[in-house]
Amino acid sequence: MPFLELTLRCSEAEQPRYEAALDDVGSLAVTMLDADADTGNEHAILEPGVGETPLWQSIVLSALFPHDADALVILAALESFDPGLEWTQVRFRQVEDQDWERAWMDQYEPLQFGRRTWIVPWNHELPAGADAADAAVVRLDPGLAFGSGTHPTTSLCLQWLDALADEGALADRSVLDFGCGSGILALAALKLGAAHAVGVDNDPQAVIATHDNAERNDVAERIEVHLPQDEPAATYPVVVANILASALVALADTLAARVAPGGRIALSGILAGQEDEVLARYAADFERLRADRLEDWMRVTGVRRR
């Protein structure tokens, strides 16, 4: 079914007002894109903190309405709802319906991390190498979002887990995936030999996504997923936290307390240049700290002092 699409440009400060107006006049969906993406100045939106919705400074905001909606009536209603906003640059067009998540997933290819870790779309044939006897294959639905292995921060963590497995440091161990998103890191750890995994995320949708992916990978009985307030008090021999540098610094005491003496930790979501603050914050509780880089992103790893 086609839709009538409304598109406008606005600032970050104005975005909540525009979205409220569009919701009030009956838009079916509202999406936001970086207005500077086509100029080569695209800015990444990273995982937000609790209660935060960080946006680009300049936004292209699009809203969908039924295909037979009257554009002039919509525009009049918007101007009536909030006459203080600029509505003269609004554009309308008819667009065909499309399952955007599925279309993107059709282009998603299997990815290898380290020696034997593979992330493979659930509907994709196993590539050469992923069918090896010792391959650790995670079947993922990228449409569930929250982490598919394509971002350097996730890639760094998957490579680390793969290397731990080669050292025998995952076998029959418990793993904490703090900020689990899709559950990709916890699932990879289980496929690499961990006995049990716990995922923690502040987004209820991430909890659902992790459960769904665990079912898809036949490991649902070996993983628990919790919101932060429901997380059980425990320590783990392996902890991985792929969030943001600011959150890693703020949560240093919490994360350190989750790592058993002699246990291993990996911290990711750190932009190059931020690693020194993270290293300094964790130095009191961890030894053998090091920072590794992939593109513009860093991963900090260490061993909990005994």
Q: What is the pLDDT of residues 182-231, one digit of tens each?
A: 899 999 999 999 999 999 998 787 888 899 899 999 999 999 999 999 99
Mark whether 229 and 123 lie in a shared domain.
yes
* Residue 127 CB contacts under 8 Å (≥ 6 apart), including other chains: 110, 118, 120
Where does residue 220 rank: exposed (0-12), middle (13-18), buried (19+ CB within 10 A)? middle
- 270: CB partners within 8 A, 6+ apart: 153, 244, 245, 248, 278, 291, 297, 298, 299, 300
Read off the CATH number of the domain in which 46 is found.
3.30.70
Give residue-wise pLDDT tens across range 142-153: 554 445 566 788
Answer with the one of 50, 76, 97 that is the final residue of a domain: 97
CATH code (residue 273): 3.40.50.150
Same domain, 115 and 221: yes
**Residues shown for the chain:** 306
Asked whether residue 288 carries a pLDDT value surpassing 70, the answer given is: yes
Query: Which spans in 25-68 are helix H?
Result: none
Residue 114 annotated as binding? no
Last residue of a domain, one of 49, 73, 97: 97
Ligand-binding annotation for 203, yes or no, is no
Q: Are residues 115 and 80 in the same domain?
A: no
Q: Are residues 56 and 174 in the same domain?
A: no
Query: Is residue 103 domain-resident?
Result: no
> Was 242 annotated as part of a binding site?
yes
Same domain, 68 and 168: no
Per residue in 167-186, pLDDT (tens digit) is: 999 999 999 999 998 899 99
Is residue 208 situated within a structural domain?
A: yes
Section 269-280 average pLDDT: 92
31 shares its domain with 178:
no
Identify whether 104 is part of a domain: no
102 within some domain: no
Question: Residues 128-139: pLDDT tens digits?
Answer: 889 899 999 999
The reply to whether 84 and 213 lie within a common domain is no
Which of 42, 74, 97 terminates a domain? The answer is 97
Residue 229 located in a structural domain: yes
Encode pLDDT of 75-117 as tens digits. 989 988 998 998 888 989 887 765 544 544 555 678 899 999 9
Establish if 170 belongs to a structural domain: yes
For residues 90 and 166, membership in a common domain is answered with: no
Instruction: Quote the pTM value.
Output: 0.69
Same domain, 138 and 225: yes
Number of domains in the chain: 2
Query: Within a domain: residue 155?
Result: yes
For residues 196 and 249, membership in a common domain is answered with yes
Residue 179 annotated as binding?
A: yes
Residues 80 and 153 in one domain: no
Structural domain that includes position 61: 3-97
81 and 190 in a single domain? The answer is no
